[in-house]
Amino acid sequence: MSESAYHKIENYLTGQLSDEEVIAFEKDIQNDKALADALALQKLEHDAMDRILETDLKSKMAKWKKTPPPNPFENDPTSSKKNPPSKSWTGWLFGLLGLLIFAGIVYTNLPASENVIQDKSTPTPSSEPSPFENVIPIEEESSLPNLEEKKIEEEVNSPPLASDKSQSVPKTNPPKKENRYLLLAQNTYESIPSIVSNLRSGEGGNSEKSDLERAAEAYDQKQYAAAQKFIGNPADTDESTVRYLRGHIYFNLENYQGAAKEFEAVASEDFARDKEGAQWYLLLTYLMQFPDTKTKFDSLGKTLSENEFFSKREEVQQLIKKVVEIK
Amino acid sequence: MEVTDKILLDAILSGNTLKRDWAFYQLYSNARLKNSIIQYVTTHGGNAEDGEDVFQEAMCIFDRNIRQNKFTNESTLFTYLFAIAKWHWVTYKRKHKKHGEFSNEYPDEKVESVEALFFEKEKKELLDMAIQNLDIRCQELLGYYKLDYSMKEITELLGFSSPAMAKKQAYRCRGRLRKVFLENPLLLKALNIEI
């Protein structure tokens, strides 16, 4: 099918054709079986996308039983997408102004010293430290990812504490290189979003949960030992979803060898749903086992960082850069 | 702030996920609406659990209809949602009736053929199977695409290097869906698709 036909069908399905164009297109469909089939296939893709949204909404409704979503209209129902300025700004401003005025009053009423010639035209610096010396300028709220990134960078790149017998500070040994790899991997690891909603539950109002669903729920609640119990031991017949979840459970239980095996199994399947996720977390698992798995880490890291379609390509490149810095 | 139908509809169609979630939460937490639906189901052959399921399904159908501009503002949202729930329960009961049973309960309702109901179920299973083939990132991307987010917005939300890359990835994700569809030629044939 040509690209123009694909886009025409897409515009038809998303309601972007004019009335005349719709009539003409529907006439074409009647006369062209291939076009009609292509339309039906593309429509199925849109039905799948609707199903994704449906699953997402159901998952949210389950969460709303305990926690309602944030109210975006808290300050102004007609506010734009941007966040309104924080109220603490005005409070700070008035506070500062008040302090300035108070300090000014105090300063001008100070008794003059005999030994100091006061020249009002050139004010001398006060012997007292300015109350504002250590005031840190208020910064706008950074977006969370940048703060997290900064925190990770500081933790990884902070120079090891020097031990110095002449000083009274407690002696600390510089962190071993292996620990720094561990720290980097731990700080980079993020728990996967709740996968409970992505698991197929029984139809017809069957409330019986499968062991897999129980394992996923326990994982979401960070009860990894319970999750491991529900998910059971690895088996060759396990589906990739099961292995992927088991990989994460093992990771959080610090069974990195076990985690690596599970992620390797998922990553090796061509069309596994969680293939990319497995590849990423496999990389982190190799990092947790440095230096034993250095060769595997380097090899997988190179493959993923050179794959322009890999969704976490930039994260891989940054991770490799940080590992090199540790070396 | 008084929550009107207009505010809810604008929020759902705004393209802002926070506003959408907030709007659906207003409906979800509306006890009168929920209890009306549950009461309807329990007085027409179902139980409270069925009522909860119907309520959730109705919310999903409502979402799809609003996005497809099927709501014509001829009733309140409350009435519209209730009507969807009612229709859904009727259809559900018909699907799960034993073969041979005939009911005059809803004589004016259009009766779907057994075949059509069967293929609807098969189609749903095919869609679920295809979605299982997508990773979470693909699902998020296609979800935003279906909510009419621009490629630029998707780039910012999901951290792609450029809108062109986001578009390429969207095409790739849809290719994965298509692969599953093409692996089920019998079902495609039943849906009158011949590839």
* ipTM, two decimals: 0.86
Question: What SS3 string covers chain B?
Answer: CCCCHHHHHHHHCCCCHHHHHHHHHHHHCCHHHHHHHHHHHHCCCCCHHHHHHHHHHHHHHHHHHHHCCCCCCCCCHHHHHHHHHHHHHHHHHHHCCCCCCCCCCCCCCCCCCHHHHHHHHHHHHHHHHHHHCCCHHHHHHHHHHHCCCCHHHHHHHHCCCCHHHHHHHHHHHHHHHHHHHHCCHHHHHHCCCCC
The residue length of chain A stands at: 327
Q: Which pLDDT score, from 0 to 100, does residue B83 have?
A: 94
Amino acid present at A210: S
Q: What is the largest CA-CA distance in chain A?
A: 106
How far is the C-alpha of B169 from the C-alpha of B163, rounded, in Å?
Answer: 10
Cβ-based neighbours of B138, under 8 Å, separated by 6 or more: B169, B173, B176
Contacts of A49 in chain B (CB under 8 A): 142-143, 145-146
pLDDT of B24-58, one tens digit each? 999 999 999 999 999 999 999 999 999 999 999 99
**Region label for A15, one of left (φ > 0), alpha (ψ between -120 and 50) or beta (otherwise):** left
Tell if the CB–CB gap between B177 and A52 is shorter than 8 Å: no
List the single residue in A52, A205, A309 with the smallest CB-CB distance to B142. Answer: A52
Residue A271 token pair: 């069309």
How far is the C-alpha of B87 from the C-alpha of B61, rounded, in Å?
Answer: 11
Q: Which pLDDT score, from 0 to 100, does residue B48 have?
A: 93
Nearest CA in chain A to B18: A72
Nearest CA in chain B to A310: B169
Q: Which pLDDT score, from 0 to 100, does residue B113 have?
A: 56
How far is the C-alpha of A171 from the C-alpha of A164, rounded, in Å?
Answer: 7
Question: What SS3 string covers A231-251?
Answer: HCCCCCCCCHHHHHHHHHHHH
Average per-residue pLDDT for chain A: 74
Between residues 46 and 75 of chain A, which touch chain B (CB distance below 8 Å)?
46-58, 60-61, 64, 68-73
Contacts of B194 in chain A (CB under 8 A): 33, 37
Q: For residue A71, is pLDDT > 90?
A: no
Does A7 contact chain B (CB < 8 Å)? no
Amino acid present at A190: E
Residue A299 token pair: 């090899």
Does A93 contact chain B (CB < 8 Å)? no
Between residues 128 and 157 of chain B, which touch chain A (CB distance below 8 Å)?
128, 130-137, 139, 142-143, 145-148
pLDDT of A74-87, one tens digit each? 765 454 444 444 45
pLDDT of A117-174, one tens digit each? 444 444 444 444 444 444 444 444 344 334 444 444 444 444 444 444 444 444 445 5
Contacts of A55 in chain B (CB under 8 A): 131
Cβ-based neighbours of B184, under 8 Å, separated by 6 or more: B126
Nearest to B190 by CA among B105, B120, B110, B114: B120
Q: Which pLDDT score, from 0 to 100, does residue B118 have?
A: 63
Does A314 contact chain B (CB < 8 Å)? yes
Q: How far is CA A149 from CA A318, B160, B187, in A?
A: 11, 17, 48
List the single residue in A48, A58, A68 with the smallest CB-CB distance to B60. Answer: A58
Amino acid present at A28: D
User: For A155, how many CA atoms within 13 A lie in the half-sphere containing its CB?
Assistant: 16
Nearest to B5 by CA among B63, B78, B82: B78
List the single residue in A48, A205, A241 with the smallest CB-CB distance to B177. Answer: A48
How far is the C-alpha of B132 from the C-alpha of B139, rounded, in Å?
Answer: 9
Q: Which of A120-124, A188-192, A316-320, B65-69 has the lowest mean pLDDT?
A: A120-124
Contacts of B127 in chain A (CB under 8 A): 44, 47-48, 51
Confirm if B141 and B158 have CB atoms less than 8 A apart. yes
Does B48 contact chain A (CB < 8 Å)? no
Contacts of A309 in chain B (CB under 8 A): 168-169, 172
Task: Tokens 């109901």: give the residue.
Answer: B117
How far is the C-alpha of B40 from the C-alpha of B89, rounded, in Å?
Answer: 9
Does B109 contact chain A (CB < 8 Å)? no
CA triplet B68, B74, B76: central angle to 5 degrees?
Answer: 90
Nearest to B190 by CA among B128, B94, B123, B129: B123
For helices A256-267 and A275-288, the axis angle rounded to 10 degrees is 150
Confirm if B100 and A17 have CB atoms less than 8 A apart. no
How far is the C-alpha of B27 from the C-alpha of B25, rounded, in Å?
Answer: 5
Q: Which pLDDT score, from 0 to 100, does residue A230 have?
A: 87
Confirm if A211 and A245 have CB atoms less than 8 A apart. no
pLDDT of A174-232, one tens digit each? 556 667 888 888 778 877 765 554 554 444 444 567 888 888 888 888 888 888 888 88
Does B164 contact chain A (CB < 8 Å)? no
* Burial (0-12, 13-18, 19+ Cβ within 10 Å), A234: middle
Confirm if A314 and A211 have CB atoms less than 8 A apart. no
List the single best residue of B64, B123, B155, B189 to mutate versus A (max A Cβ within 10 A). B64
Tell if the CB–CB gap between B21 and A60 is shorter than 8 Å: yes
Q: Which pLDDT score, from 0 to 100, does residue A150 have?
A: 44
Q: For residue A37, is pLDDT > 70?
A: yes
Residue B108's CB is within 10 A of a number of other CB atoms, namely 4
Does B178 contact chain A (CB < 8 Å)? yes
Does A198 contact chain B (CB < 8 Å)? yes
How far is the C-alpha of B195 from the C-alpha of B188, rounded, in Å?
Answer: 8
Tell if the CB–CB gap between A57 and B194 is shorter than 8 Å: no
